[in-house]
Amino acid sequence: MVSSTNPNFKQLRVAVIGGGLGGLSAAVALRRAGHLVEIYERRDFNVEVGASISCAANGTQWLREWEVDIPDMKPVILMKLVMRDWETGRILNQYNLDKYEEEWGNVYNMLHRQDMHATLLKTATSPEGKGTPCIVKIDHICETVDSEAGTVTFKNGVTVKADIIIGADGIRSVVRGQIGVVPDMKSAPQTCYRLNVKKSVVDELGLVKYSYEPAIQFWGGLQGKNGRSKYYKIVMSPCSDGEIVSFYCKYHSHLGNFYSFMPTELTKHHEEGFTFAEVPVSDVIAGRYDELDPDCVNLLKNSVDRMPWRLYVHQPYDRWFAGNTCILGDAAHPMMPHQSQGACQAIEDAAALGIIFSDKYNFTTDVTAGLAMYQTVRKPRATRVQSASARATENLNERIGFTSLTPHDASLAAAEGKLTINEMNSYKMHNHVATEVDKLGGGMGPTIAVM
């Protein structure tokens, strides 16, 4: 039993459905809060793939609070955002982050999904560190959830009972449907391919070395010449100790990581989310990619791990919990990727659960009230980021960073309702939870002072 100075604190059994980044973050947060956590994943973790993950200060702060070994994630510390001309690669705009850590207290980490996942899994299950090590069970595909009885039944016939059930099962969440949430969604006007380029290949072939600079670099995203759609867009960033350049089309830094975006009608892929099947380069550079900066095209032609990512726009859900069951991350607030906040928002979800069900409060005696508090704290902020991500699909200048090139720009952007770096990074979740708990009264705060 965990030691606590709050006599009302109760150690809970937690079932996390889904072992992705959000699920593992929740597992770590609740382990640190003193609970017994089991993680149920549908497949073996050796199929984990992906490209770069942005972990800005509002995500990094929680990794630090949970004592995660961030260097083990092989981060590249981001130093600038660069907007380039689609056809020539000429720099059109740049936002420098050289004083980012000084201003916000944490760096902006670029991470490869596999590296981040491996470290979070290690943190969750290691015998070292605060709390009881989490247990991981693979080959468990969620079939039904009874949020009143607190049970989960899997397709393999196993049924488990838990005090809290967390649906971290992603964009196609089963848990979401089991708590009565029916998504209102439509196909996005833009689709994506993510791919990687190894730094060793960049050097070997004499490709442009700025591809593995510590920057997120953009091509397109604005209406172009001769009617070129604003939905054509490249996002490139380094990760994995700079050994990948990652693209959306996407590139990495140990690898380079690219994200390649194009109008939806050009894609051959229709199922929402990632598809775990590599596609040829010709799929990635279809349509007006024949007008793309030749240096960027050469990077794309030498890429690996080219995977489709079909995008849909979801309207905010009416609720995130029922009974003792909640959803988080993509299961709760799937968003377009254009604010680079998807992972950070899942981490914030996890952090909120860890705070609410810590011994600082009495929610372990009333899980449903705790999950209502989780929704109160998280849903408005995540929904705001979700909406801003959709707007940035239509206008790259809506992106965090480009809205905040100067303090004056940031003030104007905030007045116009745009998302800014200040809004994301100055947020104090501990204070927010405390304020909301005070509004409740009725003994949800500790009955004695908790250090």
Q: What is the pLDDT along the chain (451 residues), one digit of tens a residue?
A: 567 889 999 999 999 999 999 999 999 999 999 999 999 999 887 755 677 999 999 999 999 999 999 999 999 999 999 999 999 999 998 989 999 999 999 999 999 999 999 999 999 999 999 999 999 999 999 999 999 999 999 999 999 999 999 999 999 999 999 999 999 998 888 888 889 999 999 999 999 999 999 999 999 888 888 888 888 889 999 999 999 999 886 322 233 444 555 555 555 555 544 456 788 898 888 888 889 999 999 999 999 988 888 888 899 999 999 999 999 999 999 999 889 999 999 999 999 999 999 999 999 999 999 999 999 999 999 999 999 999 888 887 788 877 666 666 667 766 778 899 999 999 999 999 999 999 998 667 654 333 3
Query: Locate tokens 């800014």: which residue?
Result: 420
Q: How far is it between the farthest Cα atoms of the chain?
A: 69
Residues of the chain above pLDDT 70, percent: 88
Query: Locate tokens 């969604």: which residue?
Result: 185
SS3 356: helix
Query: Residues with Cβ < 8 Å from 283, sequence gap 6 or more?
Result: 193, 267, 268, 306, 308
Rounded CA separation 215/233 (Å): 16
Among 100, 116, 111, 110, which residue's Cα sits nearest to residue 426?
100
Q: What is the pLDDT of residues 224-246, one digit of tens each?
A: 888 888 888 899 999 999 999 99
DSSP state of 272: B
Query: Locate tokens 């992906």: which residue?
Result: 50
Q: What global pTM score does this model have?
A: 0.91
Report which secondary-structure segment, H or E, holds 425: helix 421-425
CA angle at 329 for the pair 325 and 331, rounded to the nearest 5°: 60
Two structure tokens written together for 190: 């833009």
Report which secondary-structure segment, H or E, holds 392: helix 367-394
SS3 333: coil
Rounded CA separation 289/307 (Å): 17
Rounded to the nearest 10 degrees, what angle do helices 57-65 and 342-356 cross at? 40
Measured between alpha carbons, how far apart are the two ends of the chain, in Å? Answer: 19
